[in-house]
Structure 1
């Protein structure tokens, strides 16, 4: 039986805050919808942190070249990190005419024999989806022969955006992995982290605090994840959704199938980190756990406050413009406010209605919610007298032209900004950016202009 997900059903998501006002769903496929990343890329981003699995792209070799190693997702997997290997069937013209299923099966056999992965994800691409290769049938037979999970991921680029691809990846995990293995033991405080990719080790900033409280991360989708653990995810007591947009379908369906409640949190900044840890404890419903959590938060906040004091003096009165996406439109803004910045604008181009509401609540009525940051951010910098631009690498040139400091806070960043320690990392980087002599030199007039 084929397991290809139905796109229209995925777009009609009851757990989405504005689904009732947009009956067609949040991610309608329109011309140009994939310009910010296609569905195939989104699926790979979501699943690549599983370092113990092989990630086989069934398509032309150019597809893997466009999306390989897009994020610095750290792993503690002691074996071979399979995400560091580009695996593709390399579909060519002959395969388009005669079909690529035989090549796909041969590739799977070779990967299992050479690398012994815990599972194999097989990604459909535009070409192989259009010629009709049955990756479900190939994966089903290969799983019977090799005895490890073979997961078809139906996310060819043409079906929609990167966010839809993430949702399709979650659907593949829910269909083929979750509930297929029982854990060796369970505890009253087992949770799953969903939408946490451990980019630059963000997850490792707050999971030690959870461990101090006796809260165990049973599985993740997919930061520092393990195939064996995600297969046991149905035994968790709580799902914690860290990225509130792309994977919202998964915890909602797990609640329906397994009775697991879910909450949505952020671990950026002091306020949100504290609120997230307390929300997890309260959702687990143990009075002693809640008491211990409040004590831990008070201790961590007091220590953080003392270490942030020198930075607050530097950042007092400074203004920042934030151009990032999704829940970071308000979560990073919250972290900046914790440091003493005034956030005068944030981008909401890729944010949900719920994200926009939170951004407005955090920033106030005077701040600008940018819907077209590419054309707006330069003007807003001039109008507000902003001192700092936080965005992805492409916006560096805007900061240079406007002669203000710049910090990269997108997925290409090289340092963790999650949790309490991550806020200190962010403070250090922003201090360095504001004091960087490069920006002072750029701001000088050329000798012939004096």
Structure 2
């Protein structure tokens, strides 16, 4: 019996408030949509931070070459960090004709023998999905032979967007890992962090505060995660979705299957970090915990206000345009507002309906929601008189052309902007950007030019 996820069910998510009101399913594939990131990329991004698992791409060499190590996801895993290894079956034309299942079997055997992973994630790609390789059967046989989980991930790029790929990854974890092992210990305040990938160490900015309150992170999907921990995730008292609404299908099904409630939070900016820590405490339902949480928030906010005071003087009256993807369209906007910026526009091209709603809430009616930022951002900068553009590296040229400051806030960033401490990092980087003379001088004509 096949265990492939039903794509239509993942597109029509009952836990999404917008699904019943839309004519088309959320994130349904459209021609050319995968140019912004395909389903394979989304699934690998969601699972790749498991450093104690091997990630085997069953497809041509270019699939792993184009996607490997695209995000700086930190791990505290003491063993060999297998995310530093790019594993692929390297499918060739010959395999397309005769099938690639035998190559997949030998690849799994090779990995288990030489690297001893806690699990192997096997990613289907466009080529191997089209030729019909049965990765479910191969993974089942390999799991019986080696005694460790083999997780088939059915997310070939052509099925849809990066967002859909994340949902498929969540489905694979729920089907093959969650509930397959009991935790060594348990506590009344065990939680799972879902959709937190610990990019540049974001997770480590706020988990010490949770630990101080006695809230234990039982497992994550998947930042600084461990295979053994996610296998026992069904024993958590609460699922906490960190920004990534694409994984709401996973949390909804865990609620139906294990009775685990879930909430959605963001740890970007002072307001959202405080609200999120308090929301977790309230969802756990302990009055004493809530009281201690409020005291901790007051302490942290007082300290942060003193540290941010000199930055707010620099940022007063400054306008910012934000061109990034998904939940960052509103979460980073919130952080910018906490620093004193007026966010005049944000990109919602890759945002869900819920993200667009949040972006409108934060920016107000006057805020511009860009649906085609590549074409719009230059005009918006002129129209609003913006002082700062925050985006991915490709938009640097727009900032240079318009002679305004620029900061890279995309997945390639090197610093954490999460939590209270991350907001200070963001403030320092934006101060340096605004005071950097290069942006005003680099596009200026040379003295000898007319």
Q: Which moved more, 1:386-395 or 1:15-24?
A: 15-24
SS at match of 2:234: helix
Hey, what does 2:357 align to over in structure 1?
357
Deviation (angstroms), 1:185? 1.2
- Unmatched 5+ stretches in structure 2: none
Deviation (angstroms), 1:351? 1.4
Deviation (angstroms), 1:106? 0.6
CA distance in 1, matches of 2:244, 2:178: 20
Hey, what does 1:57 align to over in structure 2?
57
Equivalenced residues, count: 450
CA distance in 1, matches of 2:22, 2:34: 20
In the TM superposition, what are the counterparts of 1:397-436 in structure 2 within 5 Å? 397-436=397-436
Asked if 2 retains the 8 angstrom alpha-carbon contact of 1:193 and 1:220, the reply is yes
Per-residue deviation, residues 78-137 of structure 1 (Å, max 9, x unmatched): 111111111111111221111111111011011000000000000111111111111111
TM-score, length basis structure 1:
0.99
CA distance in 2, matches of 1:87, 1:359: 38
CA distance in 2, matches of 1:419, 1:148: 36
CA distance in 2, matches of 1:41, 1:169: 10
Deviation (angstroms), 1:70? 1.0
Cα root mean square deviation, aligned: 1.0
Q: Which moved more, 1:360-369 or 1:214-223?
A: 360-369
CA distance in 1, matches of 2:285, 2:79: 37
Asked if 2 retains the 8 angstrom alpha-carbon contact of 1:245 and 1:326, the reply is no
SS at match of 2:218: strand
Q: Which moved more, 1:350-359 or 1:287-296?
A: 350-359
Deviation (angstroms), 1:23? 4.9
- Unmatched 5+ stretches in structure 1: none
Hey, what does 1:91 align to over in structure 2?
91
Hey, what does 1:70 align to over in structure 2?
70
CA distance in 2, matches of 1:92, 1:449: 54
TM-score, length basis structure 2:
0.99
Stretches (4+) displaced over 3 A: none
Hey, what does 1:27 align to over in structure 2?
27
CA distance in 2, matches of 1:275, 1:449: 54
Per-residue deviation, residues 300-320 of structure 1 (Å, max 9, x unmatched): 000000000000010001110
Deviation (angstroms), 1:448? 3.3
CA distance in 2, matches of 1:276, 1:413: 23
Structure 1 position 264 matched with structure 2 position 267 = no
Deviation (angstroms), 1:449? 5.1
Deviation (angstroms), 1:418? 0.0
Structure 1 position 283 matched with structure 2 position 289 = no
Hey, what does 1:82 align to over in structure 2?
82
CA distance in 1, matches of 2:220, 2:183: 14
Deviation (angstroms), 1:441? 1.7
Hey, what does 2:109 align to over in structure 1?
109
Hey, what does 1:243 align to over in structure 2?
243
Hey, what does 2:322 align to over in structure 1?
322
Asked if 2 retains the 8 angstrom alpha-carbon contact of 1:11 and 1:24, the reply is no
